Structure 1
């Protein structure tokens, strides 16, 4: 009976041991080719910004935990003194194919990912990071990733140098659309973006080490039971 109870316990623990969480990683989408002030450092009125990322650039389903942008201008440049609401979702639009009517690019709604406010003050950070309130589950099989930023506030007088962040102008993995002064526009430029990711497990097959340990444990239990019966 004791042997049967041990075997049953190991059988219950096996799925738990097999489902070890994957480690965090960072994926950068885009290659630094230039720098652009939209939407974080321009002295003109951008009220909404969108950027599409090719789903294939992520290598598979993942939980997005943060996104960061790399400063491409002088270190004494400044951010626009406004509030940014960063939202994530899916789009059926291809890279280079965002609609000037920004709502038409959204497939299935948007999730508020992070909000940050800035005032006239310290220089723009070398790495501008938005950490998610909760991770955003992204699966490339469901479409391309859409970044949607609402800009709340009006840029005031020139502060002596607006920040520009590294951009990719190739139009191969990312592109943008935005509303400036009430007029929609867009082009093949997109900000180079570093994503903090936690890979989504796709299988509960035991790791080799786990399988060996489980096998050894089962054999050991079976051996003890056999020796007891032989006495």
Structure 2
């Protein structure tokens, strides 16, 4: 008969085999066990965009909240745009945080907003004219040539110019000369005739040349 190995030796062999199996099982578990999917952020910070970057979270109103840029700076909250024409002119004037140029800009938006009531637009123009000096009166020429300016506001603009320097009166009259409203064109031409002491009819180039010559003379006057 073939001698059988001692029971003690067989027990040791089975123990070694069992340890090897446990070790293999541990390796398989660690290597192929559950893993968090990569690239999917957790928590409520924001969803990932197609390029892998996180988008800013939005509030209940859909307004993008303020956040931090990649460079470490901050981005202001983006709020829905409001129609400046619907703003109360009195409140706008009382806002001391606005500089004069910014206030004039906002008032000009209201003046040209055809959806705003006529009274509101007229009030905005009156304040704008009070704020406009000789140094920044180019806004007057811009308004005068805008299609959004109606005849009534154009007349207010013209009458205000009569209290300004002759060069301003002439330049504004030149702009109004190109308007579609017959009444504005008529009063502009009549005033140019008064300023230049000559009637050049409906010739814009001739009026331009005459105004330039007159401005040179006025600037050299004592």
TM-score by length of 1: 0.20
Structure (1/2) with the larger strand percentage: 1
Structure with greater helix percent: 2
Normalized against structure 2, the TM-score is what? 0.21
The structure whose Rg is larger is 2
Name which structure has the greater RCO, CA cutoff 8 Å, separation 6+.
1
